[in-house]
Chain A
Amino acid sequence: MTVQILRRALIFVVSALVASVAVFGLLAVLPGDPAQVALGVSATPELLAKTRQEFGIDRPLATQYFEWIGGVFSGDFGNSYVTREPIGPQLVDRLGVTMWLVGAGMLVALLIALPAGVFAAVRHRRASGSVISGLSQLGVAVPGFVAAIILVQVFAVQLRWLPAGGWTPPIVDPLDFLSGLLLPALSLGLVQGAVLTRYVRSSVIDVLREDYLRTARAKGLTPYRALLRHGLRNASVPVVTVLGLQLATLLIGAVVIERVFVIPGLGSMLLDAVSNRDLLTVQGIVLVLVLAVLLVNFVVDVLYTVLNPRLRQAS
């Protein structure tokens, strides 16, 4: 198993490095001169040259890359071309906010999908099971931002139970934090929950058909207990894989949801940076997003190995 995990870790490190080159390279070949953007069209050639030197973008690309990536390792993402402020600290702040959002969205998705999926699977031959599948089908078809708009209309505008947007850090006021987090988390999680319900349902149905579940019942377990003790671990293998993919989707979904709810996360930072043509900031954010997705995939691979004894034994 250790060998397996080490191999996964190596794959993770290599793909992270490749990704950093790709992110850097893509933004480097984009037309547009950061110095020009920073100074405006009326800047003199002398001033432009001086600013380019200051930004370090007059040097060869390879040098720029190694300097940038070297800094990233120590948490230094450089200074913004637009605000001249260091990017790293803000990135960490914003990442924290986005992680709350994604984590809460995932939690909502799981809280919906696990019970609904298991119920729909156990009753898949009966009407009640089909109703759950039908609802999840419907949920899958709704885009996250539409869910957000409906939720805001109902709970913020009509009922006035929850704020329509804004962000309170948890240390400032935990209650405001939670009430502010609820609608965005629901918007993110409902749709993912619907998608996940279908995966949970189908993998539980597969497991229910397994001979070893019949063995479990022949041993004297009721159907639900047999499923809990023998089914869920085996059913969780495909579900964990999907969960990993969904985390990536949630991260992307958060970009839009943060915009709708005016939440100062990585997503809104990215959109701001793009509209300000703040290339170095965009570069840092995209790198962090890509690394997060790669990291999630790595963790899923490790979990997959741990959950599956066949892989655990092989070395």
Chain B
Amino acid sequence: MSALTVDSLELSVAGIPLVTGVSFTVGAGERVGLIGESGSGKSLTATAVMGLLPDEVDAAGSVRLSDVDHDLVGATEKQLARVRGRRMAMVFQEPMSALNPSMRVGDQVAEIMLIHGTRPDKATARAAAVELLGQVRLPEPAETARAYPHQLSGGQRQRVMLAIALANDPAVLICDEPTTALDVTVQARMLELIRTATEERGTALLFITHDLAVVAQTCERVLVMYGGRLVETGSVKEVFTAPKHPYTRGLLDASDLEAVDEHGRLRTIPGAVPGAGEFPGGCVFRNRCTDATGDCAEAPVLSEVDDRGFACWNPVGGPA
């Protein structure tokens, strides 16, 4: 049984669709990457799964967790509060602002255990917090626990966020670009930590990034998102070595520093991501796709066979 099941998720603001018909699963202990250019709807999807959408965004469809007996779409704040931080947790992109500036980090880690009663009292939770800070490999965890966020570096704060997220052993961990704001060496160590920590605990991971190398390093399976839709899915190996969707191929070419076009320039996907609500009808990638044909005026559906799928009328390398 999958740890997380998202089915036909639709998100819109004032009738403008932002995310359309997104369905996917993340198996228990599985690590899945969600990639796509800026503005493709990755964060919205993650926020919807957490039930943290802003008031103005309307949601339809279904989000289920294996050990929660109700749908998270349409759940009350109270129901959601019981699930968040306990059954699923999230690490956000911005480590500098995600922690409360006027609270010691140890108390911020302890708090999530006290909220859900996974530790009986403050003293036990504090001790567990110090242990967790050690597990995310912060030096001198006892001392770090007494520090305020502004005394820590970005990388250290992101480790604190990970300690908070993992404190109650959630079944699902969502990371939204957790390393984008960090410098390269810190980033590599953080990725390694996320990998091993989720592996040890058997936590399912939904990892959002626009960096393909990061996905290759961290995940087993990948979902490619564009224009608020999933356009291609499959194992990291298959998708990265034999992409079917022209958009995925474009992403791969753009990230490949050796692939150059006939003028010797690095390849990029032509054009820019349209704003919300400005995607073409039919295939959302139509206005930027070099392979577009008349068929593409009708929206292709994502058909999956054994977790491998793509939504394109003219797939790369022909239909197969």
**Contact (Cβ within 8 A) B148 A221:** no
**Contact (Cβ within 8 A) B84 A215:** no
Rounded to whole angstroms, the CA-CA distance of A229 and B161 in the bound complex is 18
**Contact (Cβ within 8 A) B99 A219:** no
Cβ of A212 to closest chain B Cβ, rounded Å: 4
Task: Confirm or deny: B282 has a beta carbon within 8 angstroms of a beta carbon on chain A.
Answer: no
Q: Which chain B residue has the least Cβ–Cβ distance from A225?
A: B81
Chain B residues closer than 8 Å to A75, beta-carbon distance: none
**Contact (Cβ within 8 A) A220 B97:** no
Q: Which chain B residue has the least Cβ–Cβ distance from A211?
A: B97
**Contact (Cβ within 8 A) B81 A230:** no
Task: Confirm or deny: B101 has a beta carbon within 8 angstroms of a beta carbon on chain A.
Answer: yes
Q: A222-B77, A313-B151 given as contacts; is B97 within 8 A of A212 (CB)?
A: yes
Instruction: Tell me the chain B residues, 66-91 only, with Cβ under 8 Å from chain A.
Output: 77-78, 81-86, 89-90
Rounded to whole angstroms, the CA-CA distance of A222 and B98 in the bound complex is 17
Chain B residues closer than 8 Å to A218, beta-carbon distance: 50, 52, 84-85, 89-90, 92
Chain B residues closer than 8 Å to A212, beta-carbon distance: 97-101
Chain B residues closer than 8 Å to A310, beta-carbon distance: 101, 148, 150
Task: Confirm or deny: B103 has a beta carbon within 8 angstroms of a beta carbon on chain A.
Answer: yes
> What 1/0 flags go to A197-219 for Cβ under 8 Å of B?
00000000000001110111111
Among the interface residues A219, A307, A310, which one has the most CB atoms of the partner chain B within 10 A? A219
Chain B residues closer than 8 Å to A216, beta-carbon distance: 100
**Contact (Cβ within 8 A) A230 B77:** no
Task: Confirm or deny: B116 has a beta carbon within 8 angstroms of a beta carbon on chain A.
Answer: yes
> What 1/0 flags go to A61-95 for Cβ under 8 Å of B?
00000000000000000000000000000000000
Chain A residues closer than 8 Å to B86, beta-carbon distance: 220
Q: Which chain A residue has the least Cβ–Cβ distance from B109?
A: A219
Q: A211-B92, A309-B150 given as contacts; is B111 within 8 A of A219 (CB)?
A: yes
Rounded to whole angstroms, the CA-CA distance of A214 and B51 in the bound complex is 11
Rounded to whole angstroms, the CA-CA distance of A215 and B55 in the bound complex is 17
**Contact (Cβ within 8 A) A214 B151:** no
Rounded to whole angstroms, the CA-CA distance of A215 and B112 in the bound complex is 10
Chain A residues closer than 8 Å to B112, beta-carbon distance: 219-220
Task: Confirm or deny: B102 has a beta carbon within 8 angstroms of a beta carbon on chain A.
Answer: yes
Task: Confirm or deny: B115 has a beta carbon within 8 angstroms of a beta carbon on chain A.
Answer: yes
Q: A211-B98, A230-B100 given as contacts; is B77 within 8 A of A223 (CB)?
A: yes
Task: Confirm or deny: A59 has a beta carbon within 8 angstroms of a beta carbon on chain B.
Answer: no
Rounded to whole angstroms, the CA-CA distance of A261 and B50 in the bound complex is 57
Task: Confirm or deny: A308 has a beta carbon within 8 angstroms of a beta carbon on chain B.
Answer: yes
Cβ-Cβ contact count across A and B, 8 Å cutoff: 74
Contact of B148 among A125, A223, A234, A313 (CB under 8 A): A313
Task: Confirm or deny: A233 has a beta carbon within 8 angstroms of a beta carbon on chain B.
Answer: yes
Cβ of A213 to closest chain B Cβ, rounded Å: 8
**Contact (Cβ within 8 A) B101 A234:** yes
Q: Which chain A residue has the least Cβ–Cβ distance from B95?
A: A211
Among the interface residues A214, A220, A221, A233, which one has the most CB atoms of the partner chain B within 10 A? A220
Cβ of A129 to closest chain B Cβ, rounded Å: 12
Contact of A220 among B81, B102, B103 (CB under 8 A): B81
Chain B residues closer than 8 Å to A214, beta-carbon distance: 52, 92, 98
Cβ of B110 to closest chain A Cβ, rounded Å: 11
Instruction: Tell me the chain A residues, 290-315 only, with Cβ under 8 Å from chain B.
Output: 307-310, 313
Rounded to whole angstroms, the CA-CA distance of A66 and B90 in the bound complex is 67
Instruction: Tell me the chain A residues, 155-214 only, with Cβ under 8 Å from chain B.
Output: 210-212, 214
**Contact (Cβ within 8 A) B92 A215:** yes
Rounded to whole angstroms, the CA-CA distance of A101 and B116 in the bound complex is 46
Instruction: Tell me the chain A residues, 210-265 only, with Cβ under 8 Å from chain B.
Output: 210-212, 214-223, 225, 229-230, 233-234
Chain A residues closer than 8 Å to B204, beta-carbon distance: none
Chain A residues closer than 8 Å to B102, beta-carbon distance: 233-234, 307-309
Task: Confirm or deny: B164 has a beta carbon within 8 angstroms of a beta carbon on chain A.
Answer: yes
**Contact (Cβ within 8 A) B150 A219:** no
Chain A residues closer than 8 Å to B97, beta-carbon distance: 210-212
Contact of A230 among B90, B103, B116 (CB under 8 A): B103
Rounded to whole angstroms, the CA-CA distance of A216 and B109 in the bound complex is 11
Chain A residues closer than 8 Å to B90, beta-carbon distance: 218
Cβ of B173 to closest chain A Cβ, rounded Å: 11
Q: Which chain A residue has the least Cβ–Cβ distance from B104?
A: A309
Task: Confirm or deny: B131 has a beta carbon within 8 angstroms of a beta carbon on chain A.
Answer: no
Cβ of B249 to closest chain A Cβ, rounded Å: 35
Chain A residues closer than 8 Å to B164, beta-carbon distance: 215, 219
Binding site for A on B (CB under 8 A): 50, 52, 55-56, 77-78, 81-86, 89-90, 92, 94, 97-103, 111-112, 115-116, 148, 150-151, 161, 164
Add 19 more A-B contacts to A212-B100, A217-B52, A230-B100 (CB < 8 A): A125-B55, A125-B56, A210-B97, A211-B92, A212-B99, A215-B99, A217-B81, A218-B50, A218-B52, A218-B90, A219-B111, A220-B81, A220-B82, A220-B84, A221-B81, A222-B81, A223-B77, A234-B102, A309-B102
Nearest 9 Cβ contacts at the A-B interface = A220-B85, A211-B97, A219-B85, A219-B112, A212-B100, A309-B148, A220-B84, A211-B98, A220-B115
Could you pull out 27 A-B pairs where Cβ atoms are within 8 angstroms? A211-B92, A211-B94, A211-B97, A212-B97, A212-B98, A212-B101, A214-B92, A215-B99, A215-B164, A216-B100, A217-B81, A218-B84, A218-B90, A218-B92, A219-B164, A220-B84, A220-B85, A220-B112, A221-B81, A221-B115, A230-B103, A234-B100, A234-B101, A307-B102, A308-B102, A309-B101, A310-B101
